[in-house]
Amino acid sequence: MSSVTNQPDTQQDAGPDDDRYRQALASLVRSINQIRGCSDAEKRQLQDDLQQLQEMQAKLSSGRVDIVVFGEISTGKSALVNALVSDAVREVNVQGGWTREVWDVTWSGSGYCVPGFALSQVVLIDTPGLNEVGGDDRADLALEAAQRADLILFVTDSDLNETEFSALVALAGAHKPIILVFNKIDNYPPADQEQLVNVLRDQRLGDILPPESVVMAAADPKKIQYIIESEDGTTREEWRKPPADVGALKARILEVLDREGLGLLALNAAMYAADKSDRIAALRIRLRDDAAMRIIWSYASFKGLGVALNPIPFADTASGFAIDVAMVVHLAKVYGLELTYTNAGELVKSILASAGLVGAGEIAFHLLCGTLKAVTFGHATVVTAVPQGGIAAFGSYIVGQAAKSYFEQGASWGAEGPKTVVKRILDGTDKSSVVHQLKEEIKRKLLSNRHTEDGSP
């Protein structure tokens, strides 16, 4: 998809919002390219995010304004949408909780067009009710729709309850313009209408919404009894439904859009791109961390097993070093880096040198075990296998953790330096626990036979 498909007309001066628009569009493109630069495994996890970013890019490029209708079940959300578009788009059901999915309709009669976009549209989006029983998935859909909204209509039909108030506070924290719609006002006499609106404006929402953002409506008025008098003087009763009363709401919506339309689009798109960028970064870190830790544990146990089974004196040390080098090369690939075996060997040496007494202790223990193997012609392997394997595996674990930290910083130790990084890893590692876990894995592999079905010797 191209980065810009329908930019504002440069002949029309849209003021400073033009710069915000271009910056928002650029932020969406950066987030999309961020996904395209991921590994195949990461892309599979981010398929939905890529599609959503592309949809947001298309929305911004066409100048489409999304108005999300939010609220509890049976407050008349769908009826409100129908009244605004002057069409029964969805049949209004008296049974609460009928809206099972997010749906939208173009408000072609809104009378608004984003400056510079000849094909601009205003779209009304209805969402499931806040308090639908068993509606966790539907609630997620509603929240996702609200996150992508340029303007939110929060519908209530009485004073706010705890669920409504909490939801409204959460939505206000997203920094989107909100209009609270006091619907079904025809259920209340005029005096009660005024009292409830004043309570909402002054007591409930004084710190959340400005007074002008609380409006009254009657989207689906109740039928009223009329007395019809004929020319001959006779009368008859007739029940009629008054026309929907959404004039104040429409006026407030257009006031907000006329004042802030393009700026709202730009701000919403930029916030959406920033949120997705954070998610992409967090997912990449988690996936790479999981893959890196699997590699470290695998190589550490493999090294421990190799050292444990090697009866040749001192050869175990050399083979262990080679395994560490292979592990570092493998870890580099996880982070999208290419590392030669020579450079990997230098990195392992640097890490081992930075390990200080821990590295020296491992080498000394290997020398001791090598001497015992030499003196006993390899028979001491039975005694030295598990402890030597455990120590070797722990050393590989530390090398892997340090290399992981190195690659996380883009193949750089950063401001800390290798000694500081290794010390931090050692200080944060429970050696006895790690070695015990590795020893148990080595024992299990020593006592198992992979060529039998149940792994028994």
Per-residue model confidence (pLDDT) at position 343: 92
Per-residue model confidence (pLDDT) at position 307: 67
Per-residue model confidence (pLDDT) at position 207: 81
Contact call for residues 167 and 178 (beta carbons, < 8 A): no
Residue 214 lies in a domain: yes
414 and 363 belong to one structural domain: yes
Nearest to 18 by CA among 8, 27, 28, 31: 8
Q: What pTM was computed for the model?
A: 0.66
Q: Are strands 151-156 and 178-182 parallel, antiparallel or unpaired?
A: parallel
333 and 205 belong to one structural domain: no
How far is 69 from 219, CA to CA, in rounded Å?
13
Q: For every one of its 457 residues, what pLDDT tens digit does the chain have, with 9 covering 90 and above? A: 333 444 444 334 443 457 888 899 999 999 999 888 888 888 888 999 999 899 999 999 889 999 999 888 889 888 999 899 886 555 444 434 444 466 778 888 778 888 888 788 899 988 877 776 455 665 566 667 778 889 999 999 988 888 888 888 888 877 889 999 999 999 998 888 888 888 888 887 878 888 889 999 998 888 887 778 787 778 888 888 888 899 999 999 999 998 888 888 988 899 889 989 998 888 888 888 898 999 998 888 887 776 656 555 445 567 778 888 999 999 998 888 888 999 999 998 888 888 754 555 555 555 545 554 544 444 444 444 455 567 777 888 888 989 998 888 888 887 778 888 877 877 777 766 766 666 566 566 555 544 344 454 4
Residue 34 lies in a domain: yes
276 and 322 belong to one structural domain: no
Question: Which 3 state secondary structure label does DSSP give 102?
Answer: coil
256 and 315 belong to one structural domain: no
236 and 334 belong to one structural domain: no
Residue 106 DSSP label: E
Residue 36 lies in a domain: yes
How far is 328 from 321, CA to CA, in rounded Å?
11
Tokens at 141, concatenated: 């859909």
Per-residue model confidence (pLDDT) at position 6: 44
Residue 298 lies in a domain: no
User: For residue 320, how many C-alpha atoms fall within 13 Å in the half-sphere facing its CB?
Assistant: 32
How far is 414 from 271, CA to CA, in rounded Å?
30
Per-residue model confidence (pLDDT) at position 229: 79
Residue 350 lies in a domain: yes
Contact call for residues 328 and 403 (beta carbons, < 8 A): yes
275 and 421 belong to one structural domain: no
Total structural domains in the chain?
2
CA distances for 384 relative to 29, 320, 321, angstroms: 58, 15, 18
180 and 328 belong to one structural domain: no
How far is 399 from 296, CA to CA, in rounded Å?
9
Residue 377 lies in a domain: yes
Residue 238 lies in a domain: yes
Sign of CA dihedral 80, 85, 86, 87: negative
Tokens at 138, concatenated: 């539907």
189 and 267 belong to one structural domain: yes
How far is 434 from 211, CA to CA, in rounded Å?
61
Alpha helices, H only, 376-417: 381-408
For residue 16, give the amino acid letter: P
274 and 314 belong to one structural domain: no
Residue 304 lies in a domain: no
Per-residue model confidence (pLDDT) at position 327: 93
- CATH number for the domain spanning 226: value is 3.40.50.300
Sequence-distant (6+) residues with CB within 8 A of 156 are 71, 72, 75, 164, 180, 181, 182, 183
174 and 267 belong to one structural domain: yes
Per-residue model confidence (pLDDT) at position 130: 77
Q: How many beta carbons lie within 10 A of that of residue 105, not counting itself?
A: 16
Nearest to 68 by CA among 4, 126, 2, 117: 126
353 and 257 belong to one structural domain: no
* Residues spanned by the domain of 148: 17-280
422 and 338 belong to one structural domain: yes
